[in-house]
A and B are shown apart, each in its own frame.
Chain A
Amino acid sequence: MRKYLNNWDAVRIIRLLAGVGFGIYAVVSKEYLFLMLAGMFLLQSIFNVSCCGAGGCSTEPKKTKTQVYKDQIEQYKG
């Protein structure tokens, strides 16, 4: 329970507000499809998760450094 109450960063608060906002918008405009979106945001906010794939998240590396050992590191083929 404690981990859900801690680490309220800006993105998490925005997700919470977006979830509430979408919920209100869905009810007011009677576009109930938005309730799903509201639910998704609220769950993301409560459980503090982002929308990565199941296996991993993409990240953009800093472009100031050339890659080392590029030809020597092999791809693991499990």
Chain B
Amino acid sequence: MKKIGILLLLMAGVISCGRQPKQTNSINQKQENNMKTIQLTKVDFLTKVANYEANPQEWKYLGDKPAIIDFYASWCGPCKTIAPVLEELAAEYGDQIYIYKIDTEAEQELAAAFGIRSIPSILFVPMDGAPQMAQGAMPKASFKEAIDKVLLNK
């Protein structure tokens, strides 16, 4: 009986930590339409952020405003936690910065190109200077601090 218990516990670990597949229902589609954050694909990334295929050695930001790029997945709880925070920030700083979102499940090549091993990963992209990567969910106050310091140089 104990062996069965241990086996069940092992199974539990596997099931518990399994990834959830992408959610693509109509409710999510409707929510996406109201979003102020911008969903990026690889093609968009190459034209709006940095063309790492043409210029893989030197970072050159192509945008006209600083940006935050959120690497996320639909099955990731902490990503869901920061999603409304990013929407609020997009509404507050909409004219000063871009807030992009990249689905690491849909854009696996993009995630691999940036070595994303933990989600959410947040890339802060200033107009000048090196981009900075933060791992893990952050509270809104920390986001605001990062926007002011890294992106807007306040």
Contacts and interface: CB of A to CB of B under 8 A. Distances in A.
Interface of A: 2-3, 6-7, 9-12, 14-15, 18, 21-22, 25, 29, 31, 34, 37, 40-41, 44, 48-70, 72-76, 78
A60 B117 contact: yes
B94 interface: no
B152 interface: no
A76 B134 contact: yes
A3 to B, nearest CB: 8
B132 A73 contact: yes
Interface string B100-139: 0000100011011111111111111000001111111110
Contacts of B20: 9, 11-12, 48, 50
A57 B76 contact: yes
A73 B78 contact: no
B109 A64 contact: yes
Nearest to A57: B76
B15 A68 contact: no
A11 B131 contact: no
B44 interface: no
Contact of B109 (A3, A6, A44, A65): A65
Q: Name, among A12, A48, A66, A78, the residue most crowded by chain B CB atoms within 10 Å (CB to CB).
A: A78
15 contacts: A9-B21, A11-B15, A34-B5, A50-B20, A54-B78, A56-B121, A57-B75, A59-B118, A64-B109, A67-B115, A69-B114, A72-B59, A75-B134, A76-B124, A76-B134
B85 interface: no
**Interface of chain A, main secondary structure:** loop
A25 B109 contact: no
B23 A63 contact: no
A70 B79 CA distance: 23
A55 B117 contact: no
Contacts of B23: 7, 9
Q: Name, among B20, B56, B78, the residue most crowded by chain A CB atoms within 10 Å (CB to CB).
A: B20
Contacts of B123: 73
